[in-house]
Amino acid sequence: MALIIFTLRLAIGILLFPMFLLNLLGLWNQICKKWFPYFLRRFTVMYNEQMASKKRELFSNLPEFAGPSGKLSLLEVGCGTGANFKFYPAGCRVTCIDPNPNFEKFLIKSVAENRHLQFERFVVAAGENMQQVADGSVDVVVCTLVLCSVQNQEQILQEVCRVLRPGGAFYFLEHVAAESSTWNYFWQQVLDPAWYLLFDGCNLTRESWKALERARFSKLELQHLQAPLPVELVRPHICGYAVK
């Protein structure tokens, strides 16, 4: 099976040789950072249509984690175009972090369309190093379709625990690896190297639930599901929340 996967990866590599060559020359990342926000803007419209009920269910208890002031302080890591904004409760104070500065203009548009929120700032930084956010300063951290592409899952979860106040919560919704005995997992393995380059560092075969289970949370509510998406490769999902 490993030989078949290698052979198919090689064939795909030949077909997509220009992309792999640009990556080898150090040019592909610059191109991807510029076009990816335009792709994600379109993708998140479709994703929100298919996942709206799940997102509403997931975020339904966000107000329970509001601090003493009664207002919810929320940090979204890997905010992208702001696709989650419409699911947040009114009056929520939102800070966004993303390593790609090209998302900012799309984020500003989402802020204008979601006046029920109190937008605070956009920080250009990786989730593994959120030094601009103080220790224990937020009630909730949200991360959707991000753990698939971060460089170090353990480090980003350590940062999440650092910025959360005691009793705060981390909400997640992520696509993950399929069950190892399925054809879906086979094709995830075959397409993973090309997918990684095409979609700005996204990995198809990450078992992100394992990193969450190892993290230092006092409570973890985690659910596996098959998302109703047209592309079977990204249908396996996990969602839930963890309490510090």
Instruction: Tell me which CATH code domain 1-243 carries.
Output: 3.40.50.150
pLDDT of residue 1: 83
- Kindly report the number of other CB atoms within 10 A of residue 151's CB atom: 11
pLDDT score, position 69: 81
Residue 138 pLDDT: 96
pLDDT recorded at residue 216: 86
- Residue ranges, the chain, pLDDT below 70: none
Supply the Cα-derived Rg of the chain in whole angstroms. 18
Distance CA 153, CA 210 (A): 10
| Cα 232 → chain centroid | 18
Complete DSSP assignment for 67-99 = -TTS--EEEEES-TTTTTGGGSPTT-EEEEEES
